[in-house]
Amino acid sequence: MIDINILRTNPELVKENIKRKFQDHKLPLVDEVVELDVALRALKKEGDDKRREKNQISSQIGRLIAQNKRAEAEEAKAQVGKLNKRIAEIEAEEEQISERVKKIMMVIPNFVAKDVPLGKDDSQNVQLETFLEAKEKPFEVPYHTEILEKLAGIDLDSARRTSGQGFYYLTGDVARLHSAILTYARDFMIDRGYTYVIPPFMIRSEVVSGVMSFDEMDNMMYKIEGEDLYLIGTSEHSMIGRFMGTILDEKSLPLKLTSYSPCFRKEKGAHGIEERGIYRIHQFEKQEMIIICKPVDSDKFYDELWHNTVDFFVSMQIPVRTLACCTGDLADLKYKSLDVEAWSPRQKKYFEVGSCSNLTDAQARRLGIRYKTEKGNVFAHTLNNTVVAPPRMLIAFVENHLNEDGSVNIPPVLQPYMGGKTKIEVKK
């Protein structure tokens, strides 16, 4: 949500930003909210005037009765009654218009950074940097589920029977590897000065509407039937929601947090063969990082966040690249976003394993997250990034560390978390 004062003073700037995001269908909303805001402020003024007039007349009634001026007192009471009726009408109109203004403001996108590349969709995202050499294997790399099945590490058929498409059982050394990666990610982030948190895995609707757009919510979130609760799609939702309606101490900023959670997503739509298996799934686990900071620091921390993910993957000897998301690929709340993609020797291309976002004060305005300064309370900036989501990253892991005999090497940083194992062998 952007500051409504910008709409009041420079609606054309807001329209230009909407055009940059190729959301021209939202342009009429700018004019509508400006008109509604003018009407709302006029109603507020009229309401204040009527209340002031009512108070003045009410204060005279007792004096008129004491002076035995009954007729004048009754006339004053009638005037107060008319004013009360009009005040009630004004308040009802204010509530109706305020709800409409809020609804519009929730769908007008956040301002996009000037250095975000212009583009309609993810096909126009721009590569920034690569890290480690992306190497092809001297042998054919099987599909990732075939690799995992030879390691006796996955059971998709049973998961389809118990839960349906988009679920999995991980077993044996592969399940241990999955947990080892998460534990290593936790320690990696703690060593970088982030506080470890395990948040609630369900949140209320007011938090959901605060952390994401309505389109994102519809495409992602699972609703708990009969309750005002949603399963989180990422721990960022719960982590940011923790500070809803709070005024933070300026000295406490920045808040640098890393969180573990299971994640639940609808993953609507049909996907290609390379996104089957454990690429797009309804349930997975993830290590996340978020930062709440002063506006002046958010660009600096944006760079810190994505570097953390790159360094994490490089430490496990997995080649990655960074990709700047174009204007049309940004969710409405995002100021800028960068994807970290891992190399797939099978596909001979990169695929997404993490996404870093700076939302400036868009989430904070929706949720009321501010910090106290000498000049008053200021909305904080919020940022988030994926450390690792193991089911998907396991694809990159097993492909990059695969040997011709089907075994998978374990890089040194993970060996202490795997009981000293250096390799996962093929099981007969």
CA-closest candidate to residue 408, choices 184, 159, 180? 180
**What average pLDDT does the structure give for the chain?**
92
Q: Is the pLDDT of residue 270 over 50?
A: no
Question: Which residues are within 8 A (CB) of 318 and not within 5 positions of it... i.e. 6 or more apart?
Answer: 132, 342, 343, 393, 396, 397, 400
Q: Is the pLDDT of residue 341 over 60?
A: yes
- Our CA dihedral for 398, 404, 406, 409, rounded to 10 degrees, sits at -50
- What is the pLDDT at residue 70? 82
- What is the pLDDT at residue 75? 85
Q: Is the pLDDT of residue 316 over 90?
A: yes
pLDDT tier at 274, thresholds 50, 70, 90: very low
pLDDT tens, 19-66?
999 999 999 999 999 999 999 999 999 999 999 999 888 888 888 888
If you count them, how many residues does the chain have?
428
- Check residues 293 and 427 and name the one with the higher pLDDT: 293
Tokens of 315: 């430490």
Q: How far is CA 320 from CA 143, 298, 306, 311, 380, in A?
A: 20, 24, 12, 10, 31
Q: What is the mean pLDDT of residues 235-244?
A: 94
Looking at residue 125, its amino acid is N
CA-closest candidate to residue 357, choices 340, 388, 341, 336? 336
Count Cβ atoms below 10 Å from residue 15 Cβ, excluding itself. Answer: 19
Q: What is the mean pLDDT of residues 105-113?
A: 94
Angstrom distance (rounded) from CA 317 to CA 230: 37
pLDDT tier at 276, thresholds 50, 70, 90: low
- What is the pLDDT at residue 66? 82
Task: Quote the percentage of the chain above a pLDDT of 90.
Answer: 80
- Check residues 304 and 69 and name the one with the higher pLDDT: 304
Distance of CA 140 to the CA centre of its chain: 38
CA-closest candidate to residue 36, choices 107, 111, 108, 95? 95
Domains and CATH numbers, the chain: 4-105 (1.10.287.40), 122-424 (3.30.930.10)
- What is the pLDDT at residue 271? 47
Q: What is the mean pLDDT of residues 125-153?
A: 94
pLDDT tier at 268, thresholds 50, 70, 90: low
The Cα angle at residue 115 between residues 382 and 110, in degrees rounded to 5: 45
Q: What is the mean pLDDT of residues 395-420?
A: 96
pLDDT tens, 173-227?
999 999 999 999 999 999 999 999 999 999 998 999 888 876 677 778 899 999 9
- Check residues 364 and 74 and name the one with the higher pLDDT: 364
Q: Is the pLDDT of residue 140 over 50?
A: yes
Secondary structure class of 358 (helix, strand, coil): strand
Question: Which residues are within 8 A (CB) of 293 and not within 5 positions of it... i.e. 6 or more apart?
Answer: 253, 254, 255, 301, 380, 381, 383
Own/partner long-range contacts of 229-232 (Cβ < 8 Å, ≥24 apart): 229/202, 229/203, 229/204, 230/202, 230/203, 230/204, 230/205, 231/201, 231/202, 231/264, 232/199, 232/200, 232/201, 232/202, 232/203, 232/261, 232/263, 232/264
Q: Is the pLDDT of residue 273 over 60?
A: no
